[in-house]
A and B are shown apart, each in its own frame.
Chain A
Amino acid sequence: MNAAVRRRGAGSALSVLLGVLIALFGLIFIVGGADLAWLGGSWYYLICGVVLLASGALIVAGRVAGAWLFLLAWAATLLWTMWETSADTDWWGWLPRLFGPTLIAIAVLLVMPALRRRDTVRPLGAA
C-alpha cells in the first residue's frame, strides 16, 4: 500500500467520523428542538436538526450530497442569524449561532475531495 492510498483511507475515515458527528448534532437538535418548539419557541433547531441528521447520514454513506446539504444548512443558519439578531447593537449573538457550525463547515470542505472519491466508487443506490 503506498502513501497516497493510506492518505485516501484516512480521508475516508475522517469523513465518516465527521458524518457521525454531524448526525449526532442533528439528533441533539431534533430532541431539544422538538422540546423548544413544543414550548412555543423557535422551530429553527428542529428543522435544522432534520437537515443535519440527513447530511450526517449521507456523509457517512460517502455521498457528496451530504456535504452540500451541510453547507446549505450553514448558509441558511447565516441568514437566520442575520434575521434573528437584526435588532442587536453588537455581534455577540453571532458567536453561538455561527462559530461552531463554521468550524464544522470548514471540516466539511476539507473532506469534500475524499467524499468525491468515495461517491464515484459507489454507484447510486448501492450505499
Chain B
Amino acid sequence: MRKLHLLAATLLCGTLPATGLHAQVASHSENIPGTGNPTSDGTDKYDTATPQKFRAPAPGAPQAPGVNAANLPPIGEIDPATLPAMVPQLSANPAAGDWVAYGRDDSQNRYSPLTQITPENVGKLERAFIYHTGSKPAPGQTNKWAAETTPIKVGRKLFMCSATNDIMALDATNGQQLWRFDAGVKYASIPYTAACKGVVYYTSSTVPEGQHCHTRIVESTLDMRLISVDSEDGKPCEGFGFNGQVNLMQGMGESVPGFVSMTSPPPIVNGVVVINQEVLDGQRRWAPSGVIRGYDAETGKFAWAWDVNNPDDHHQPADGKFYSRGTPNSWATMTGDNELGLVYVPTGNSAADYYSALRTDKENAVSSSIVAIDVKTGSPRWVFQTVHKDVWDYDIGSQPTKLDYKGSNGETVPALLVPTKRGQTFVLDRRTGQPVADYPVEEKPAPSPGVVPGDPRAPTQPWSTAFPRLGFPDLKESDMWGMSPIDQLFCRIKYRRAAYVGEFTPPHIDRPWIEYPGYNGGSDWGSMAYDPTTGVVIANWNNTPMYDQLVTRKQADKLGLMPIDDPNFKPGGGGAEGAGAMADTPYGIVVTPFWDQFTNMMCNKPPYGMIEAIDIHTKKVLWQHPIGTARANGPWGLPTFLPIQIGTPNNGGPIITAGGLVFVAAATDNQIRAIDIKTGKVVWSDVLPGGGQATPMTYEVDGKQYLAIMAGGHHFMMTPVSDQLVVYKLPG
C-alpha cells in the first residue's frame, strides 16, 4: 500500500522529489580523481626523507598561541586512591519529572517515565517558549555550527550549553535565563563543528549543602578546558582547578587551536571526571594524542591517564614530554558505571583514518572498540572491538546504553548496548566485555589483504548476527537512482568504475572504492533509546554510501590537501569529513558522498534514513519506516515542499516516554515528530526554526510535561542554523 502511495505521489508531482541527498555534501569536497590516479608501484616505502611539500612540526614543539586558551597554569596530580567516596548522585535515580544526564539517567537510555503526553493528545502540543542561546556564526564567519545540545533538567531549572560552551540556567517553565557563564570560546578554537552536546550535574562529596559549589555544572569545551560552576549562581567553583577551570591541553604536545576539542559531556564516575577528546580527522599520522584522562571532580586535579602506547605510565608527561601521538581518539559520549567502577569509552581510529600501516599493535587492539577503564587506576579492564584495523572511519559515535538484560536462560546480566556506524549492534556483559549468550558475535571473513602496499586488511570482522542489522543488503548496479535515466546511467557508470565487493571493501589507490555503510552510519552520535519496562530499542540510522579514493602524496599536494597545523593551511581547505592530507603517510584521502555531483542527489535509491523499533527479547523488528520528508530537500538542494516520507540522512537521537511515544527530530526536513511506539506511525510533527540535529528531552514541572529540542541546525547536513531551543507543552 505504501509502495503505491509513494509512486502515485512521485508521478503526480511535477517536481521531482529527490531528497536530503545533498545533505551528505562535504562543504569543500574534492572531485574523486578517478581511474587516472597514478597508482603505487608497490615499492614506495614511506620514510621521513621522502620529499614532501610540507614538513611536520616536531611533536615536542611549543603549542601555538591560543591552544591553552585561558592561559591556565599546569594542574597538579592527586593519587586516585585518596579520592573521597562519591556521595549518591541525582542521576542514579532521577525524580520522574527530571532529566539529569545527557541520556536522562546513569543508564543513558533516553527513557522518561512521564505519561501526560500520549498518542491521543500529542496533536495538541503547542510551543511553551523559545530560548535563544545567542551562539551562531557572525557575519563573515564560515558556518561551522551544529549545536547538537540536549539540555538537562533538575528541579525547576534547565541547564544547557550554547554551541560555543556558554553555560546557562533557565526557568524550566518559561525559558527565562537565570544565569549565564560566559566561556569565552574563540572562533579559531572551533574544530570541525561548534557543538556542545550537554553539561553534567554533580553533587559535591566535600562541599557541604548550603555552601557555594555543593551542586555544580561541569562541562568540557571546544578549546579543551574543563569548567566547573555552581548550579545556583553560575559562578566558577574556586576550589576547582584555577578559578573553576583546568587546561586539558597540558601534556598534549604540539597543537594549534581547533585541532583538539571536546563536544561531549564528560561522565563523572565515582568522583572522577573522565575526559576524552576529538582530534580532527584526516590531518596527520602524528596528530595529538587520543589519551583518556581522569580528573578529580572536587578539585580538578589530575588523577590518571590511559595512554595507549604507554599503558603503564598513568601520570602526566614530564616537561618537554607528551602523550603518545596519533593514538585512537574518542569523541563520542562515554558512559559511566559507578557500581563496577568503570567508564565505557567508545574509541575511534588512530590518526590518518584510511591508512593503517603505521599503527602499533597496541593501537590496533583498542581502536573502534569499547574500552572499559577502571576509574581508580586508569587501566583497561576489558576491550571489545567492533572493527579490526579500521580504515573506513567506522569509529564509534554512539553513546553506549546500560541495561539489565534478562537472557533466555533466565539469568539477568548487567549489559551494555553498543550501536555502531556499521549498523551492527552489540550486547555485552559489562563485567567482562563478552557478548551476552543471546547475542553471539561471529568473526566472518572480510576482503583481505586489499591492495595498499604494506597495509593488509584484517582477514575477519565481527558481526552481531542475532541483533537485527540497521542496514540494507549490499548495493547492486540496479539500485542506482536519479531523477532521469541519464542520472541513473551516470551513477551506474560510477558504480562500475569503483571497487566494490560489499562491506569492508578495502581502500583503493588506482580507482575509487565504495564505502557502504558510509561513515555517517548506521548509528552515529544520536545513539539509541531503550525502554527498560518493555525491552524495546528505538534506533534511527543512515543509509548513505561514500565514494572514496586514496591519493598519492604528490597528488594530495596538488589537490592542496594539508594538515591544520601546517603554516599554509587555509581554513576550509579540507576538513574532518571531506578530503584529508593524512600527512606523515604515503597517501592523502579524498572522500565524497556516493552521489551525482551535478544534481547533488545520492546515487543509491531512497530511503536515506530509517527509524525502527526492535524487541530486545524476541530480537524482532516491531516496525521500520523511513524518517524525514522531502519537504526541505531536492535536486540542487532546492526544497520540494513534498510531504513524502522519502527518508533523509539524520543526526540526533530518539527518546521514549512512558506515555507511549517516541520523539525524534534528526532528519534534514527540520521537523520534530512524535511516533506512536506501538505502530511506528507519525502522530504529530512541527517545523522547527532550524535543523533538529540534536536529541530532544522531556521533563515535568508543576504537573505539566514539556518537550524540548535544540533546533541548532547542522552545517554538514546543510540544515538551517539557529540558536533556538524550542519547548512544547499541552495547552492549559
Contact = CB atoms under 8 A, between A and B. Distances in A.
Given A36-B489, A96-B487, A91 B10 contact: yes
A114 B497 CA distance: 44
Among A33, A93, A95, the most chain B Cβ lie within 10 Å of the Cβ of A95
Contacts of A29: 485-486, 489
Nearest to A40: B496
B2 interface: yes
Nearest to A77: B485
Contact of A99 (B3, B479, B484, B497): B484
A29 to B, nearest CB: 7
Nearest to A99: B11
Interface in A1-51: 25, 28-29, 32-33, 35-36, 39-42, 45
Given A91-B10, A92-B605, A96-B483, A41 B493 contact: yes
A101 B478 CA distance: 18
Interface residues of A, number: 27
Nearest to A48: B485
Nearest to B497: A39
A45 B477 CA distance: 13
Interface stretch (A59-67, A82-90, A117-125): A82-90
Contacts of B495: 41
B477 A92 contact: no
A41 B492 contact: yes
B477 A93 contact: no
B625 to A, nearest CB: 11
A71 B273 CA distance: 71
Interface of B is mostly: helix
Among A28, A39, A41, A89, the most chain B Cβ lie within 10 Å of the Cβ of A41
A28 B496 contact: no
Nearest to A49: B489
Interface in B456-511: 477-490, 492-493, 495-497
A55 to B, nearest CB: 15
B3 A89 contact: yes
A90 B478 contact: no
Interface size class, chain B: 20 to 34
A90 B489 contact: no
A32 B482 contact: no
A100 B485 CA distance: 7
Contacts of B11: 99, 102
A45 to B, nearest CB: 5
B437 interface: no
A92 B492 contact: no
Contact of A41 (B479, B482, B496): B496
Nearest to A32: B489
Contacts of A102: 11
B188 interface: no
Interface in B1-59: 2-4, 6-7, 10-11, 16
A90 B484 CA distance: 18
Contacts of A41: 477, 492-493, 495-496
A101 B3 CA distance: 21
Contact of B490 (A32, A89, A91, A100): A32
Contacts of A100: 483-485
A94 B478 CA distance: 11
A79 to B, nearest CB: 14
A35 B10 contact: no
Nearest to A86: B478
A42 B476 CA distance: 11
A36 B496 contact: yes
A39 to B, nearest CB: 4
B10 A95 contact: yes
Given A84-B478, A91-B4, A94-B7, A42 B485 contact: no
A84 B485 CA distance: 14
A25 B490 CA distance: 13
Given A25-B486, A89-B3, A96-B487, A42 B10 contact: no
B236 interface: no
B650 to A, nearest CB: 18
Contacts of A91: 3-4, 6-7, 10
A45 B497 contact: no
B606 interface: yes
Contacts of B493: 32, 35-36, 39, 41
Contact of A45 (B3, B482, B489): B489
A95 B489 contact: no
A93 B485 CA distance: 11
Among B484, B486, B489, B496, the most chain A Cβ lie within 10 Å of the Cβ of B489
A92 B488 CA distance: 12
A9 B731 CA distance: 66
B481 A95 contact: yes
Contact of B478 (A25, A39, A93): A93
Nearest to B491: A96
Given A29-B485, A96-B485, 16 more contacts: A35-B493, A36-B492, A36-B496, A39-B497, A40-B496, A45-B485, A90-B3, A91-B7, A92-B10, A93-B481, A93-B605, A94-B7, A95-B16, A96-B482, A99-B11, A100-B484
Interface of B: 2-4, 6-7, 10-11, 16, 477-490, 492-493, 495-497, 605-606
Interface of A: 25, 28-29, 32-33, 35-36, 39-42, 45, 84-85, 89-97, 99-102
24 contacts: A28-B489, A32-B486, A32-B493, A40-B496, A41-B492, A42-B478, A45-B485, A45-B492, A89-B3, A90-B6, A91-B3, A91-B4, A91-B7, A92-B481, A92-B605, A93-B478, A93-B479, A94-B7, A94-B10, A95-B483, A96-B483, A97-B488, A99-B484, A100-B483
The 4 A-B pairs at the shortest CB distance, nearest first, are namely: A39-B496, A91-B7, A96-B488, A100-B484
